[in-house]
A and B are shown apart, each in its own frame.
Chain A
Amino acid sequence: MMKKRAIRKPGADAKRVDGNAAAGILSELFVPDLTVARAKCAGCGETRTIGVLLVYAHGMGTVMRCPGCDGVVLRIARTPTHVWLDATGATSIVVSRDAN
């Protein structure tokens, strides 16, 4: 399967971090810890723990990409008054019912 090359600034890869790094802002949207939840990537169909998504942070917000196909799974932006989530890159998100 051909890997879609994303358009990114050179050197962005050296600054990327793990899904963990978005746990704080995700906690403003979701009560359970989303980094241990699993998301099905709308790009390649693989289901992965959100903690392993690759996080690219930039001035406008945070982009979480699938480590397999590079597609954007979650896009989060923050303004002084709102947190904005685009989850169209995730076909589904599955949260365990066990309190960990």
Chain B
Amino acid sequence: MSSVGAAPRIIWRSAKVIDVVRETPETRTIVLDVPGWPGHRAGQHVDVRLTAEDGYQAERSYSIASPPEEPHLALTVERLDDGEVSPYLSDELRGGDKLELRGPIGGYFVWDIATGGPLLLVAGGSGIVPLMAMLRHRDRALATADTGVRHRLPVRLLYSSRRWGDVIYREELAQLAERDTTVEVIHTLTREQPDGWTGFKRRIDRAMLETVAWPASEQPRVFICGPTPLVEAVATSLVGLGHQPALVKTERFGPTGGSV
């Protein structure tokens, strides 16, 4: 009778690969059909489990890239040379293959349009993945909304990558910002920049955040995702700039995850 536990127990499910899409040289998006998928919220992740012929199992977590409005689940995976799981997912997986996964997992690092804005998203490398789900959800959910609604939910994405060729979802982000004036995408390229680059050329620091972020008085909802050192430095800077810790949510990816 109690509503505690109204959420379904998370079970391992078999998912079928529909497509594997190259995003950048080092990243692939795996599009999956997951029978019985209960739906998810932007920002959540899944655990993927691989079982070798000898029975050895490896599990990794991957953020969901697709918005809840999409029927198929998309995971964007960065290939780590010394990874146990990512090389298989990036190089070996084909349409028709099966994957074991469980989810959706994690109700803390989520955003829906009901949460409100303004929305500040800060990504380092593959940390863009859950934030892209948020951007895609916002775009789909507001597709028929009038401009007043969009203006009350503006979003700024500050996205750190090593080089232009490493920027995941680069074209989609450009098109999104082009057709929706309430979406701003600000890149910083930390190692190499294309000729004529006029944007930021350094790691995200407090000065950059002061320029880019909404002022603390606007009380933006903030989501930061990427390598642990980047996430912690950005969160510390934003709190130092006056943002309330309760409004700054973090998803650390650990030492890897596209270190920039």
Contacts and interface: CB of A to CB of B under 8 A. Distances in A.
B107 A33 contact: yes
A15 B45 CA distance: 19
B107 A100 contact: yes
Contacts of A14: 228-229, 255
B254 A17 contact: yes
Contact of A33 (B61, B102, B106): B106
Interface string A76-100: 0000000000000000000101111
Interface stretch (B1-9, B14-22, B150-158): B1-9
Nearest to A35: B108
Given A32-B4, A98-B3, A15 B255 contact: yes
Interface residues of B, number: 28
Contacts, number: 79
Interface of B: 2-7, 9-10, 45, 47, 59, 61, 102-103, 105-109, 228-229, 249-255
Of listed A17, A35, A95, residue having the most chain B CB within 10 A: A17
B215 to A, nearest CB: 24
Q: Among B4, B59, B106, B253, which residue has the most Cβ atoms of chain A within 10 A?
A: B106
Nearest to B108: A51
A21 B2 CA distance: 27
Contact of A97 (B2, B102, B254, B255): B2
A28 B246 CA distance: 27
A18 B250 contact: yes
CB-CB nearest 7 A-B residue pairs: A51-B108, A99-B6, A31-B5, A27-B10, A33-B107, A23-B106, A24-B47
A47 interface: no
Contacts of B103: 24
17 contacts: A16-B254, A17-B228, A17-B252, A18-B252, A20-B251, A27-B9, A27-B10, A31-B9, A33-B7, A36-B107, A49-B108, A51-B109, A51-B249, A97-B2, A99-B3, A100-B7, A100-B107
A18 B252 CA distance: 6
Interface string A13-52: 1111111110110010001110110000000000001111
Interface residues of A, number: 26
A23 B41 CA distance: 15
A92 to B, nearest CB: 15
Interface of A: 13-21, 23-24, 27, 31-33, 35-36, 49-52, 95, 97-100
Given A20-B45, A32-B4, 10 more contacts: A15-B228, A17-B228, A18-B109, A18-B250, A20-B251, A24-B59, A27-B9, A27-B10, A50-B108, A100-B107
A6 B3 CA distance: 38
A24 B61 contact: yes
A36 B110 CA distance: 11
Nearest to A13: B228
